[in-house]
């Protein structure tokens, strides 16, 4: 055995390259025991040294291949085994495990187990290595502490911003009530203060518009019209944002405040200035979506139409088409869009390799985001999908990056609204513009744009087409498909037409759609005035509530909708005799809503409306054009022909009416009826 030692050692070295540790370790112990039995202690020590080296190499392999607690536990057990060998066969010789301990320390630091890392550092023999790892540990602990402090500050700031937003929302509702009065004040000063600036806005001459608005602010302040000065400052903010010079605004606002002396406090407490301070702070966060979300509150200020147009442009809102010529033109454009979308679909390909590739990439890129999405944590999931986009682009996984962008955009629709989703998409495409050909030009991203357009413009057919393409042609997981499908309103359950419409039927359908589009456009045009006058009209109604509305309110509270409808019709006739056409037209609308909920025939409601209008004589034309009458007639046409895309607008049209709280339940009940 003494003469065969060299050969046995070589064979053991060869065997140790295999991966069956228990079997190979047993082989080492077998030869070790043979040499010990024959009292060849020096030779057995050489075998023991080989055994220790083998156990060390196995421990090193384990921690290199798996950076987790399980690997560490296994390596510690192997180190203990090596120490047992040393104690039994090598006179308890000190063995150097520094290379293994160094990796274990790094794993513990990575896992955030700092006390465990510190304990392992103490076992390292190399003092210089100890010093180095202690520095690494201290730096990581310091970084973590700094991050925790930073996170605590961010959480506090986030909480404060949410509190401020809640305050803004509350003040915005109050501002809505004062909007009509503020509009009158601004209109009275239009010629002397605002006309020049508005003309420049109309011409898109923003630099000169900025000069004009800056010019009249001192005059408004001198007249103690602090709220109006604040509104003009809000328009200045919009102009500066349009000119990409928004960083100038905070300095300008601060300068004005300092110049006011004792008036500064009163000025700073006006809603426009509180809102502007909030918008400035949001802008500093560098989050375009949060900024535009804050910018939406400017809509509650008493803006002129040109100012409102600028705001809508900055918020990426599409312009609504109203005139009949525009509607005819839109039909042609719509056909072009459909054809373009169908062409884009042809350039999206999905095969088994694409499916396998995304499944393979799931754990690395979408595991946590997908779990959060499936659990309904939309805001968190949206941020996580957003985080994967750049990582995927850098790896040149462009189709997969497009999927992340599509999902995060859809989540933005769910969490916020279509307008902010458009802003989000535009912002990301701008941010990653160097990848434009690889990302922005992808057919699925262009179809996403068309889907957003369809949602914003309530184009049901285009929306269905885009949604169908995205769900069928993209490599999506189950919860992602469910997310896309959740955009379809519950009311919108389309039935496949088994029989093709005749040309005559198609022409009638087209004519009906044009008429509805025109009528909806007219209603939209009237909505700002109705919204402005809402509170004043409601005050008048509240004043008369106990005198003439007691009976109908009681009927509503009892859910006696048919009787309430009849009572509203009586009130319509009574009020028209008093020449109160504003309220009588509202009574007729409420009459229609109540009978719709009572499931009375549509024909009967139409007869009642026509009889009422005919009784007005020369005033018929005047009343027929009022918002409530146009609204109920539009609503009856939509329900009669079951035009689903307009069923979704019912709440939008009715919410701005000056209704009592008891009457608002009519809207809720109507929506339930239509939902069923």
Whether residue 165 is found in the same domain as residue 101: no
Rounded distance, CA 526 to CA 518, Å?
Answer: 13
Q: Which residues contact 128 (CB under 8 A, 6 or more apart)?
A: none
**How far apart are the C-alpha atoms of 373 and 385, rounded to whole Å?**
10
CB 381, CB 479: distance < 8 Å? no
d(CA 421, CA 408): 9
Question: pLDDT, tens digit, for every residue of 517-574?
Answer: 788 888 888 888 888 888 889 998 988 888 899 999 999 988 899 999 999 999 999 9
Q: What is the pLDDT of residue 87?
A: 81
Indicate the pTM of the whole model. Answer: 0.48
Nearest to 447 by CA among 474, 420, 481: 474
Residue 249 has pLDDT above 90, yes or no: yes
Q: Which residue has the tokens 């201290």?
A: 138
Mean pLDDT of the chain: 84
Statement to judge: residues 80 and 184 lie in one domain: no
467 shares its domain with 554: no
With left for phi above 0 and alpha for psi between -120 and 50, is residue 601 left, alpha or beta? beta
| Distance in angstroms (rounded) separating the CA atoms of residues 587 and 591 | 6
DSSP state of 191: I
The backbone torsions φ and ψ at residue 361, rounded to the nearest 5 degrees and listed phi first, read -85, -10
Q: pLDDT tens digits, residue range 125-170?
A: 999 999 999 998 888 888 776 666 566 555 556 777 778 888 888 8
pLDDT computed for residue 104 by the predictor: 92
Model pLDDT for residues 251-296, shown as the tens digit of each residue? 999 999 999 988 999 999 999 999 999 999 888 888 888 888 899 9
Examine residue 279 and state whether it is found in any structural domain, yes or no.
yes
Using CA atoms, how far apart are residues 42 and 288, in angstroms rounded to an integer? 76
Q: Are residues 454 and 575 located together in one domain of the fold?
A: no
Mean per-residue pLDDT for 425-443?
87
Residue 578 has what pLDDT? 85
Alpha-carbon span 86 to 45, nearest angstrom = 9
Which two three-digit tokens encode residue 523?
A: 């209603």
On whether both 355 and 421 belong to a single domain, the answer is yes
Instruction: Let me know if residue 338 belongs to a domain.
Output: yes
The answer to whether 35 and 47 are in contact (CB under 8 A) is: yes
Residues 539 and 398 in one domain: no
Give the CB-side neighbour count of residue 117, counting CA atoms within 13 A. 22
For residues 89 and 48, the answer to whether their CB atoms sit within 8 Å is: yes
Domain match, 509 and 480 both: no
Domain end point (choices 251, 280, 315): 315
Q: Same domain, yes or no, for 540 and 444?
A: no
Residue 457 counted as domain residue: yes
> 436 or 227: whose pLDDT is higher?
227
pLDDT for the residue 57: 87
Instruction: Please check whether residue 95 lies inside any domain of the structure.
Output: yes
Is 323 a member of any domain?
Answer: no
Q: Is the pLDDT of residue 97 over 60?
A: yes
Give the pLDDT score at 4. 64
Confidence bin at 448 (pLDDT 50/70/90): very high
Other Cβ atoms within 10 Å of 428 Cβ, number: 22
Which of 67-81, 151-165, 357-371, 625-639 is predicted with the least confidence, judged by mean pLDDT?
151-165
pLDDT value, residue 522: 87
**How many residues in the chain?**
676
Regarding whether 391 and 354 lie in a shared domain, the answer is yes
Residue 380 lies in a domain: yes
Asked if the model's pLDDT at residue 451 lies above 90, the reply is yes
DSSP state letters, 423-452: HHHHHHHHHTGGGTTTTTTSHHHHHHHHHH
- At 493, the pLDDT band (50, 70, 90 cuts) reads very low
Domain shared by 109 and 165, yes or no: no
Domain boundary among 287, 315, 343: 315
Which stretches does DSSP call E strand in 313-434?
none
Number of domains in the chain: 4
Same domain, 339 and 467: yes
- Asked if residue 40 has pLDDT above 70, the reply is no
Is residue 132, in this structure, part of any structural domain at all? no
User: Residue 113 has which token pair?
Assistant: 């187990």
Report the percentage of the chain scoring pLDDT > 70.
87
Measured CA to CA, the distance from residue 503 to residue 111 in angstroms comes to 70
Comparing CA positions, the residue from 178, 183, 185 lying closest to residue 535 is: 178
Same domain as 78, residue 168: no
d(CA 482, CA 373): 10
8 Å CB contact between 564 and 595: no
Asked if residues 226 and 263 have their Cβ atoms less than 8 Å apart, the reply is: yes
Range of the domain at 515: 503-670
CA distance 564 to 581: 20
Position 573 in a domain = yes
pLDDT digits (tens, 9 = 90+) for 333-380: 778 888 999 999 999 988 888 899 999 999 999 999 999 999 888 989
**What pLDDT does 321 receive?**
46
Q: Taking the mean position of all CA atoms in its chain, how far away is CA 647?
A: 24
Beta-carbon contacts of 47 under 8 Å, excluding residues fewer than 6 positions away, are 8, 9, 12, 28, 31, 32, 35
* Residue that finishes a domain, picked among 432, 456, 486: 486
């Amino acid at each position: 055995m003494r003469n065969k030692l060299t050969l046995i050692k070589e064979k053991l070295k060869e065997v140790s390259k295999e991966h069956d540790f228990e079997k190979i370790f047993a082989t080492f112990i077998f030869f070790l025991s043979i040499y010990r039995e024959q009292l060849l202690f020096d030779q057995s020590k050489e075998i023991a040294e080989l055994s220790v080296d083998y156990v060390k190499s196995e421990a090193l392999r384990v921690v290199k291949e798996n950076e987790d607690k399980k690997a560490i536990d296994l390596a510690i057990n192997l180190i203990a085994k090596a120490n047992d060998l040393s104690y039994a066969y090598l006179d308890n010789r000190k063995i150097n495990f520094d290379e293994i301990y160094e990796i274990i320390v790094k794993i513990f630091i990575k896992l955030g187990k700092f006390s465990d890392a510190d304990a392992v550092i103490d076992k390292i023999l190399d003092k210089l290595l100890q010093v180095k790892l202690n520095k690494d540990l201290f730096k990581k602990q310091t970084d973590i502490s700094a991050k925790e402090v930073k996170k605590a500050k961010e959480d506090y700031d986030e909480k404060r911003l949410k509190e401020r937003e809640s305050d803004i929302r509350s003040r915005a509702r109050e501002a809505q009530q004062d909007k009509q009065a503020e509009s009158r004040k601004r209109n009275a000063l239009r010629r002397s203060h605002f006309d020049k600036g508005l003309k420049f806005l109309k011409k898109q001459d923003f630099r000169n518009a900025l000069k004009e608005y800056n010019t009249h602010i001192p005059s408004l302040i001198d007249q103690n019209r602090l709220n109006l000065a604040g509104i003009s400052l809000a328009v200045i903010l919009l102009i500066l944002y349009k000119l990409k010079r928004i960083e100038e605004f905070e300095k300008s606002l601060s300068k004005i405040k300092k110049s006011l002396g004792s008036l500064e406090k009163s000025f700073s407490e006006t809603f426009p200035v509180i809102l502007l301070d909030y918008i400035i702070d949001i802008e500093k966060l560098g989050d375009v979506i949060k900024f535009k979300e804050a910018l939406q509150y400017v809509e509650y200020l008493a803006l002129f139409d040109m100012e409102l147009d600028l705001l809508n442009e900055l918020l990426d809102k599409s312009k609504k088409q109203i005139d009949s010529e525009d509607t005819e033109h839109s039909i042609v454009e719509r056909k072009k869009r459909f054809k373009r979308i169908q062409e884009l679909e042809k350039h999206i390909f999905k095969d088994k390799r694409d499916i396998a590739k995304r499944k393979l990439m799931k754990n690395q890129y979408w595991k946590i985001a997908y779990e959060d999405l499936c659990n309904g944590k939309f805001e968190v999931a949206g941020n996580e999908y957003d985080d994967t986009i750049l990582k995927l682009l850098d790896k040149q996984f462009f189709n997969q990056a497009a999927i992340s962008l599509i999902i995060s955009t859809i989540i933005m629709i769910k969490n916020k609204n279509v307008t902010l989703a458009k802003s989000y998409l535009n912002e990301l495409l701008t941010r990653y513009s160097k990848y434009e050909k690889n990302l922005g030009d992808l057919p699925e991203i262009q179809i996403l744009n068309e889907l957003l357009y369809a949602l914003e413009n309530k184009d049901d057919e285009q929306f269905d087409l885009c949604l169908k393409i995205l769900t069928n042609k993209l490599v999506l997981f189950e919860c992602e498909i469910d997310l896309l499908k959740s955009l379809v309103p519950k009311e919108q359950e389309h039935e496949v037409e088994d029989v093709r419409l005749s040309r005559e039927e198609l022409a009638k359908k087209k004519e009906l759609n044009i008429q509805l589009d025109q009528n909806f456009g007219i209603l939209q045009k009237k909505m700002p005035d109705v919204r402005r006058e809402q509170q004043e009209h409601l005050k008048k109604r509240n004043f008369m509530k106990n005198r003439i509305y007691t009976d109908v309110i009681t009927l509503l509270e009892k859910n006696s909708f048919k009787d309430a409808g009849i009572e509203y019709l009586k009130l319509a006739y009574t009020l028209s005799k008093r020449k109160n056409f504003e309220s009588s037209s509202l009574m007729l609308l409420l009459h229609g809503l109540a009978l719709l909920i009572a499931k009375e025939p549509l024909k009967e409601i139409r007869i009642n409306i026509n009889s009422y209008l005919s009784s007005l004589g020369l005033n018929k034309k005047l009343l027929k054009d009022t918002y409530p009458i146009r609204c109920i007639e539009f609503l009856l046409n939509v329900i009669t022909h079951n035009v689903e895309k307009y069923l979704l607008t019912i709440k939008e049209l009715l919410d701005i009416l000056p209704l009592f709280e008891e009457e608002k339940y009519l809207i809720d009940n109507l929506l339930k009826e239509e939902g069923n």
